[in-house]
Amino acid sequence: MSRARSAANNEGLGGTGTCSDAAADRDGPPEYARLIAHPLRWRLLRELVHSDRAVWELTERLDKPQNLISYHLRQLRDGGLVTARRSAADGRDAYYAIDLASCEQQSWAAGAALHPALGAAAAELTSPGPRGPASRRVLFLCTGNSARSQIAEALVTRMTGGVVEAASAGSHPKPLHPNAVRVMRTRGIDISGNRTKHLDEFTSQRFDAVITLCDRVREVCPEFPSHPALAHWSMPDPAQADPTDQASYPAFEHTVEELETRIRFLVPLLTERSTSDETRRSSHVEH
């Protein structure tokens, strides 16, 4: 019997159950609570909060067999807490990402299942803006600096009111994509005057975090003397979604929506106060 199958049997998952089991399930904790209560699944979620990761990375970081990691990732995917997509750099790899918006909604629902007021209370605790006055710097990287990283830079500036200073660059800069300009204009943000930059312009600058948005640029991300926290968000290039600008525009809308969600959860990590910068870098963005 495989280790993953044995783990499933030990946890009582995947069985047919009985009528009394079904009744107990109705009175038991929500599936979300059961999923996150497992120590390994909790550790996987904590890892994915910091960065999208491939299975082999999670296997190394958690020091667990690959089949066991894959089994629990599948449980998290089935529960809507984790997503996966094939790497654009190496199709043999898949990057796993935590779906923080789903986690947020399910955590509220779990609270409400215990007491109706808990769901509302959880929603009220979500701050719409950054916490603390200290300035932070974040750099977004992709290949062309023509869409994803430019959009992320502009969203951080808008969403934090300048509390977090954002920059963007690419490993092979190319002209700003017209759909990037167009999709940001629908949100009242004009990036038409932005220039695209090579990442070499920023390697000597200090950043609190450097986030790669492209699987290919992750492979060539340079060392930064300031030792920023490093994270990877595996996002497809919207310009590659369709052959024409008109046809690819919905992919740009999806890119903005995903970045808005990711940045909403990133900002509290960047702006959270701690006793030292080193503690913040090692604990809040990347282990």
Query: What is the value of pTM for the model shown?
Result: 0.73
- Mark whether 214 is an active-site residue: yes
| Per-residue pLDDT at 26 | 58
From-to residues of CATH 3.40.50.2300 in the chain: 136-285
Helix (H) or strand (E) holding 90: none
Task: Decide if 136 contacts 165 (C-beta within 8 A).
Answer: yes
Task: Decide if 179 contacts 245 (C-beta within 8 A).
Answer: yes
Q: State the catalytic residue, choosing from 62, 94, 113, 221.
A: 221
Q: State the catalytic residue, choosing from 69, 88, 142, 159.
A: 142
- Mark whether 142 is an active-site residue: yes
In 3D space, the residue among 91, 92, 93, 71 whose CA is nearest the CA of residue 82 turns out to be 71
Task: Decide if 43 contacts 62 (C-beta within 8 A).
Answer: yes
Q: How far is CA 123 from CA 101, 117, 266, in A?
A: 12, 10, 17
| Per-residue pLDDT at 16 | 33
| Per-residue pLDDT at 44 | 97
From-to residues of CATH 1.10.10.10 in the chain: 3-124
In 3D space, the residue among 87, 103, 101 whose CA is nearest the CA of residue 45 turns out to be 103
Helix, strand, coil fractions of the chain, as percent rounded to 5: 55, 10, 35
- How many other C-beta atoms are found inside a 10 Å radius of the C-beta of residue 28? 11
Positive or negative torsion for Cα 74, 77, 79, 82:
positive
Q: What's the burial of 106, exposed, middle or buried (CB within 10 Å: 0-12/13-18/19+)?
A: buried
CA distance 37 to 78: 16
For residue range 11-54, list pLDDT tens digits in order: 332 333 333 344 345 577 889 999 999 999 999 999 999 999 99
Q: What's the burial of 259, exposed, middle or buried (CB within 10 Å: 0-12/13-18/19+)?
A: buried
- Mark whether 19 is an active-site residue: no
| Per-residue pLDDT at 24 | 40
| Per-residue pLDDT at 7 | 36
Q: State the catalytic residue, choosing from 82, 166, 214, 266.
A: 214
- Tell whether domain 3-124 is in CATH 1.10.150.170: no
Give pLDDT < 70 ranges for the chain.
1-26, 117-134, 272-287
| Per-residue pLDDT at 272 | 65
Give the CATH number of domain 136-285. 3.40.50.2300
Q: Could you give the 3-state DSSP secondary structure of residue 139?
A: strand
